């Protein structure tokens, strides 16, 4: 079975080093989400770790990080940074209550059954464990690269596959897909967690020259009830 990342055409981009550096808003959101927590000697699952860049940042802060991803190709890169395990978000290959933290950045919205994945995350978290989450903001505006403005979302309530164009550093681009779902869906899928922090960076209305296309993200810190 081809992994999502290969179907989406990311594999070659990551291997060739063409994938843009960590999007600024994602890095800021990550810092905002994690600043209240101490990670020294804490167990962290980097859920859908991709190349493991974010897990590696927590490892630097003293955490014992395990990265989990479906893509062998990406795990090869991640393994240079953190300990990795290949597996599915729908059936995490870990025992119950193993982790103090689950870091899940930009993963749930690419899954067809995110509500199954959140159940699994809850299972592997310790009681009062913390889920640090980022998804495409369901209310997201996105920069329209051609018009250089922000697009308004007139189909907010509709669950639908959407395209997201990634510009690579060599000037080429490819479109990846994700599934838009309204906020009410996500709140249902996160039953059993209480919200500790919401961070919702809003993009400037005009597309800055030389920047990569980005979407607005929603960052949440949640505690397992
Ligand atoms: C948008 S990338 C985010 C990567 C990383 N968290 C980051 O922020 O850089 C989504 C990741 O989810 C992984 N993924 C997709 N479907 C998955 C599944 N069913 N089980 C585990 N990982 C999956 C992909 O391989 C990819 O690495």
* For the chain, domain boundaries: 4-224
Of 94, 107, 110, 175, the residue with max ligand 1 atoms within 8 A of its CB, to mutate for a pocket test, comes to 107
CB 52 less than 6 A from any atom of ligand 1: no
Adjacent-strand bridge partners of 175: 165
Residue 137 CB neighbour total at 10 angstroms? 20
pLDDT at 135 over 80: yes
Q: Which CATH class is domain 4-224?
A: alpha beta
Q: Report the alpha-carbon distance of residue 130 to residue 123 in Å, rounded.
A: 12
pLDDT tens digits, one per residue of 64-93: 999 999 988 889 889 999 999 999 999 999
What confidence tier does 58 reach under pLDDT thresholds 50, 70, 90? very high
The whole-number pLDDT of residue 217 equals: 85
Q: Report the alpha-carbon distance of residue 99 to residue 69 in Å, rounded.
A: 16
The whole-number pLDDT of residue 83 equals: 98
More confident residue, 177 or 24: 177
Q: Report the alpha-carbon distance of residue 165 to residue 106 in Å, rounded.
A: 15
CB 4 less than 6 A from any atom of ligand 1: yes
This model's pTM is above 0.95: no
Of 29, 45, 69, 78, the residue with max ligand 1 atoms within 8 A of its CB, to mutate for a pocket test, comes to 69
Question: 69-87 burial by CB neighbour count: b if 16+ within 10 A, else e?
Answer: bbbebbbebbeebbebeee
Q: Give the residue carrying structure tokens 């905002």.
A: 32
């Amino acid at each position: 079975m081809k992994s999502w990342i290969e179907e989406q055409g990311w594999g070659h981009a990551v291997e060739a080093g063409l994938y843009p550096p960590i999007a600024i808003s994602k890095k800021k959101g990550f810092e905002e989400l994690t600043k209240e927590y101490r990670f020294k000697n804490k167990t962290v699952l980097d859920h859908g770790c991709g190349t493991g860049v974010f897990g590696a940042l927590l490892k630097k802060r003293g955490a014992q990080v395990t990265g989990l991803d479906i893509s062998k190709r990406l795990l090869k890169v991640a393994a240079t940074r953190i300990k990795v395990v290949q597996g599915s978000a729908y059936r995490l290959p870990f025992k119950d209550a193993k982790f103090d933290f689950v870091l899940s950045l930009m993963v749930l919205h690419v899954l067809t059954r995110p509500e199954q994945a959140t159940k699994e995350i809850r299972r592997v978290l310790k009681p009062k464990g913390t889920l640090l989450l980022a998804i495409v903001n369901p209310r997201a505006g996105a920069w329209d690269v051609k018009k250089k403005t922000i697009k308004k979302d007139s189909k907010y309530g509709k669950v639908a596959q959407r395209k997201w164009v990634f510009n690579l550093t060599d000037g080429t681009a490819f479109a990846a897909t994700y599934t838009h779902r309204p906020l009410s869906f996500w709140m249902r899928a996160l039953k059993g967690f209480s919200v500790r922090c919401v961070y919702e960076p809003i993009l400037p209305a005009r597309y800055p020259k030389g920047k990569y296309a980005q979407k607005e993200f929603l960052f949440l810190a949640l505690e397992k009830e």
